[in-house]
Structure 1
C-alpha cells in the first residue's frame, strides 16, 4: 500500500469523514481529498499531526514499516522530521513572543509620545521617562480661575517656567481655587509633563526673582509689549505646542 491508501484506511478506521479529519488538521476537505487521490502530500507539520492523531509512527505512516534507530547510526528520516517540526514550532512561539514584546514596546512608546506632545496629563503621570519639576506662573484674574465659571469650571491654562534660565516652558491646565488673599499672587505647580500633582498660590516674594523676570518676559512676548523679536519668532507655536525651549529673555527687550 502507498500513502494515499494508508491515509484513507486510517481515516475510515477512526470513523472520520474527510470533513471531520480536515477540521482536526485545520485544512479543507478538498485538501484531504487530494491526499487520498495521490494528487498532493501533506507538509511536515501536517504529517506530524497525522501521526499523533492516528497514534502511528511517522515511519509507519510514510513507509508502511517501522524503522528503528540503530546504535551509532544516524537517526531515521521520520525521527529527524519529528525533531525538525518540534524545533519549528518552538521557534514560531519564540518569534511570536518576541514580536509581541516589540509591538507592545512600540505601542507603549507611541502612547507616551502622544501624551507628552499633546499634553495628556493622565499619560504623562505614568511616563517613566519624565521627572517631576516645579514651575511658576502669575495667577490669572479671579473671573478666569473661579470655580463658578461655567465655561471652565475653575480650570485655567498658562505657561509655566520650569528653570531659572528661562528656556524650559510647559503649558499646564490646572485649578487652584480663588486667591485666599495673597498679595501679588503667583502659582507654584509640582508637575510631571502635563500632569499637575499639586499647585499652590504663593506671593511674589516667595519665588526667585529670575522666575518672575522669565514670566514677565513671556507675557511681553505674547502680548507684544516693549521691543519684542516677533519678526524672527513664530508666536503660533505658543498656541499649539505644550513644551517650549525658547530663552524668552533674549527675545524681549523692555
Structure 2
C-alpha cells in the first residue's frame, strides 16, 4: 500500500474529513487532497504529525513509499546536478573567447574555474550513478522515467568494457591535446 492510500485509509478510520485533518496538522485541505491523490508527499514534519495523530509508527505509515521517495529525491538531485554541470561547462567554453584578451596566462583562469565547477557537479552525478548502480545513458533515462532497469542492465554487461576503454582513450586524447597546446604556447605567443 502506498502513502497516499495509507493517509486516506487512516483519515477515514479516524472519521476525519480532509478539512478536519488539514486543520489538525496546520495545512490546507488542498494539501491533504494532493497527498491522497499522490500528487505530492508530506515533508518529514508532517509525516511525524500524521503518525502521532493516527497513533502509528512512521514505518507503518510510509510502508513501501520510502523507496519511491528516495528515488524521487535522487531523480531531482540528478536533474539539478545535470543542469548546473551543463551551465558551468557551457559558460567555461564561452568564456574562452573573451578571456583571450587578458594578459599572460590570466586568460586561462576564468575558463578553468568555470570548467572545474562543472566537473565538480559531474562528479556528484557520478556518485549518484554509482549509488544507484547506473552505468550508461539508457539507464539514466530509464531511472529518470521510473522504469525497470533490469532489462537494460543485462544488455550492459558486454558493453561495459567498451565504455571504460572509450573513456580511457578520451581522457588520454584530452591530456595529450593539453600537453601539445601548452608546449606550443610559447611559440604561439611569440608569433
Instruction: Give the alignment's TM-score, normalised by structure 2.
Output: 0.33
Higher strand share: 1
Larger radius of gyration: 1
